[in-house]
Amino acid sequence: MGGRKRRKVKLLSARVADDKRRTRMNKKAMLEMQTWSDLPLELLHLIFIRLSLEDNIRSSIACKRWNTAAISVRVVNQSPWLMYFPKFGNMYEFYDPAQRKTYSLELPELYGSRVCYTKDGWLLLYRPRTNRVFFFNPFSREVVKLPRFELTYQIVAFSCAPAFSTCVVFTVRHISPTIVAISTCHPGATEWVTVNYQIACLFSESPIIFKLHRSNRFWQEMKTLDGMTLFASFLSSHSRTDLPGMMRNSVYFSKVRFFGKRCISYSLDDCRYYPRKQCHDWGEQDPFENIWIEPPEDLSSFI
């Protein structure tokens, strides 16, 4: 009896070992049969998000799976993001109105600074305690310093990214109802230049969109944006073309409703605000609550 049991156990062990060997061989055969189209979607997203628009389009015709992954991360003309300033700490939130997603980024470099303006993904910041004015890119962490200058209640802006020789920073400060002081500077300069100008007064109780004709310096009131999209906030404004149809010919304000899911917008086609029963009052909003900013080309750090 003992010999039979040992033979049965030995036979059973052999069958188990044979089954394991067959399973390994089947798995190996399946792995050898897999192709590039079988890559996980998460990995495909990380690959396609780093491609240029041209390479993204070329890759999307390889197979149905690649087409789905490529289109999901394709950026033709991306809308700006809303950057929110925290009341405490260094964690900043970025809201994408097109995808209705929120991202977070810790930026200790901004501690003690006030954001004045943004353009081309760069922030212009001011430190009141030291009168330090500098550029900062929150995605690349690059810093470009300017000469010290006291910014009180000036309107501040700059023409383009500080890497370009045409970059000019300017501030506008009202000295009287008809006189403004305009100060200018540029990266590499050692001081600011200030000149006073005489201006005319213009007041309006309702928001109106004007377009400047540079040839004859004529301001024309606009009843349509011809498919363009404007993004307006206290500290900056941006414009876009070729955004999704529902976003065209509209003004997007820096106010988000419904628990961070919808930006308040005004459609010039429908002559109404969206979402329904919403409106935007500049007087209700803290001017230093948020700002529109160009998103980074590479979104992999936010995934």
Assigned domain for 14 exists? no
Average pLDDT over residues 262-271: 81
* Together in a domain, 69 and 138: no
Higher pLDDT among residues 88 and 212, named by residue: 88
Average pLDDT across the chain, whole number = 77
Assigned domain for 20 exists? no
Assigned domain for 24 exists? no
* Together in a domain, 162 and 63: no
What is the extent of the structural domain holding 69? 39-74
Q: Has residue 205 got a pLDDT over 50?
A: no
Best mean pLDDT range from 115-124, 216-225, 261-270: 115-124
Assigned domain for 21 exists? no
Side-chain half-sphere of 228: how many Cα atoms within 13 Å? 12
Assigned domain for 291 exists? yes
* Together in a domain, 116 and 167: yes
Question: Lowest-confidence range among 34-48, 193-207, 222-236, 247-261?
Answer: 193-207
Assigned domain for 166 exists? yes
- Taking only the tens place, the pLDDT of each residue in 127-146 is 999 999 999 999 999 999 99
* Together in a domain, 130 and 253: yes
What's the structural domain count of the chain? 2
* Together in a domain, 246 and 276: yes
* Together in a domain, 165 and 211: yes
Assigned domain for 134 exists? yes
Predicted local confidence at residue 206, as pLDDT: 41
Assigned domain for 123 exists? yes
Beta bridge partners of 94: 83, 103
Average pLDDT over residues 84-111: 88
